[in-house]
């Protein structure tokens, strides 16, 4: 005999939930694949006998792997004759897959109910919020790196910025005599800090999903980056020759609210 009943549940992008509440369609968005999910809400309505129970939620990707786990958390249930409504907002999920997910809702280690919901990649905007745009356009250097268990590993990085995306060069061969960026190209999520021009104070901090560029995309980004290199040694062609086969170039999609642009 199960401990209780899941009457309804939803996994919804936070912006959509705030607009439509319980009538909102299921679905969440990533800023890249893999990449961080934009904040989303998980709604549950339970009928469970009065008392305290352990609640857990697992998000299972199309591959069958559990890609995000919330809880377990202790909850107090109102009773089998009343609805116990819970709503949690999630802002730290990083997911590796898109497609149809299964959300498993668990009490005391037992799966009580499941729903399917879609996960999409949100199309990158060509324009970011004004503060973010200015922080990137007015800086020659930003700080980029990783955060593990609250500890940051960051490095000052020169970069290029175009159409709402950041482009970075990170070299794994010392003979290239170029920067190495912590977390590039393997981290699922990078931390970016912009600085106020001519001041040692942070302007804005945000996370970003990275995408490794190869082939023609690498060549196009490399030509853009070599033009941005302030202290370049030799000609642009010489720099490009040193970078090939020794340096990774990644495209970063900032995880910040985007501004819609007119068509």
Of 4 and 177, the one with more pLDDT: 4
Fold classification of 5-121 is Immunoglobulin-like (2.60.40)
pLDDT band at 59 (very low <50, low <70, confident <90, very high): very high
Residue 137's pLDDT is 87
Percent of the chain with pLDDT over 90: 63
Q: What is the dihedral of CA 238, 180, 186, 119, to 10 degrees?
A: -90
pLDDT of residue 262: 37
* Residues above pLDDT 70, as percent of the chain: 92
CATH 2.60.40.1930, the chain: domain bounds: 5-121
Q: Tell me the average pLDDT across 221-237.
A: 85
For residues 72 and 187, the model is more confident at: 72
Average pLDDT over residues 7-18: 96
Q: Which pLDDT score is estimated for 31?
A: 79
* pLDDT at 263 (0 to 100): 36
pLDDT at 38: 87
- State the pLDDT at residue 198: 53
More confident residue, 135 or 89: 89
Q: pLDDT of 92-131, one tens digit each?
A: 898 999 999 999 999 999 999 999 999 999 876 667 888 8
Please give the average per-residue pLDDT across 63-80, as a whole number: 97
Confidence of residue 2 (pLDDT cuts 50, 70, 90): confident
**pLDDT over 80 at 256, yes or no:** no
CATH of domain 130-254: 2.30.110.10
Residue 36's pLDDT is what?
81
Q: Average pLDDT of the chain?
A: 89
Q: What is the pLDDT of residues 37-57, one digit of tens each?
A: 889 999 999 999 999 999 999
Interval 211-238 mean pLDDT = 88
Distance separating alpha carbons of residues 74 and 112, to the nearest angstrom:
16
**Cα dihedral across residues 88, 152, 174, 222: positive or negative:** positive
């Amino acid at each position: 005999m199960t401990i209780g009943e899941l009457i309804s549940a939803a996994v919804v992008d936070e912006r959509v939930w705030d607009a439509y509440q319980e009538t909102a369609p299921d679905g969440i968005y990533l800023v890249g694949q893999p990449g961080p999910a934009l904040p989303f809400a998980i709604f549950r309505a339970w009928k469970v006998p009065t008392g305290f129970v352990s609640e857990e939620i697992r998000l299972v990707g199309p591959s069958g792997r559990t890609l995000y786990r919330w809880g377990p958390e202790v909850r107090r249930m109102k009773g089998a004759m009343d609805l116990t409504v819970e709503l949690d907002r999630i802002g730290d999920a990083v997911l590796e897959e898109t497609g149809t997910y299964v959300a498993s809702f668990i009490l005391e280690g037992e799966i009580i109910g499941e729903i399917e919901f879609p996960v999409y990649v949100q199309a990158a905007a060509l324009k970011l919020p004004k503060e973010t745009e200015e922080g990137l356009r007015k800086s020659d250097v930003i700080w980029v790196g990783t955060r593990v268990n609250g500890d940051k590993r960051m490095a000052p990085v020169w970069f290029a910025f175009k159409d709402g995306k950041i482009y970075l060069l990170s070299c794994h061969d010392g003979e290239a005599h170029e920067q190495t960026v912590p977390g590039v190209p393997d981290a699922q999520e990078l931390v970016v800090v912009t600085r106020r021009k001519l001041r040692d104070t942070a302007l804005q901090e945000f996370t970003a999903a990275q995408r490794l560029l190869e082939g023609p995309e690498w060549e196009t980004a490399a030509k853009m980056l070599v033009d941005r290199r302030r202290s370049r040694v030799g000609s642009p062609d010489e720099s490009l020759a040193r970078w090939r086969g020794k340096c990774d170039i990644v495209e970063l999609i900032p995880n910040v609210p985007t501004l819609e642009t007119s068509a």
